[in-house]
Structure 1
Amino acid sequence: MIRASLRGLASGNSPIRSTEGTGGAYFMQDSLGQKYISVFKPIDEEPNAINNPQGLSVSLDGEGLKRGTRVGEGAVREVAAYLLDHPKCGPDIYLSGEVMEFAGVPPTVMVGCLNKGFNHPDGFEGTFENLKAGSLRMFMKNMGEL
């Protein structure tokens, strides 16, 4: 997933920002630009974060949209959900042969990504200061808009 996303960027296929949601979420394309590989969600573009592209106000006390959540912890929670959903020992297999996959959270990792296609309100210079940290989750087809 990571290598395929990198190949897509290296081939000039910019991230495509989702029009849905309350934060910045970007579809990462394959090297041919024909399918989505993953979804990148930068920490600094989460709801109420400083670079939120949806126009939400910055949280003054650090609390997120939902009571009890903190701005900037969404990516960490997504990675934690994946880790908790996929124990090291592997999925449980019942005597019937049925596999217990818990909630089926797609592979999710924490990454850093540098690309002018993300939300950079102060401009993009291709320097370390423009590096975005966030969660990268395998793209899963759904019955929604995409």
Structure 2
Amino acid sequence: MDWRADRIGAAHRGDNPTVIGRLPEAFAVMGDVQWLPGYCVLLTDDSAVGRLTDLPRARRLSYLESVERLSTAVEEACAASDPGFRRVNIEILGNTDPYLHTHIFPRYEWEPADLIGGPVWWYSRDRWSDPSTALGPQHDQLRAAIGDRLV
């Protein structure tokens, strides 16, 4: 089975190659594409959890703490690696995948002027499948820097 078919189960089994680290209630993973270098996702550690409000309050707060930890790690690592780093955008959408997850998008000054002020979803859909920006060994240094900052 391809690990992408069950990202959370694969993370638990140690078969998900995008995992950066384990956090309370979640796994920190690198995004499959890196057209915005440092793009990460926080995956719930329980595939039965479909939305934030499915978690009891204590677990919800733990998950949100993990969102803060990953977004801070991404911000610090991206700022150190790219002078054009601007900020991070944090999004919990739940429109496509049936499990709770949070997107952490670094944003950069070098982005096109018509896109920099809006959500990443304004970018062309082909960005999500562009092999030239697929996660690979060229992202290992940034991945390690993010992982080192997950405290």
Q: Larger relative CO (CA 8 A, sep 6+): 1 or 2?
A: 2
TM norm structure 2: 0.31
Greater share of helix residues, 1 or 2?
2
* TM-score normalised by the chain length of structure 1: 0.31
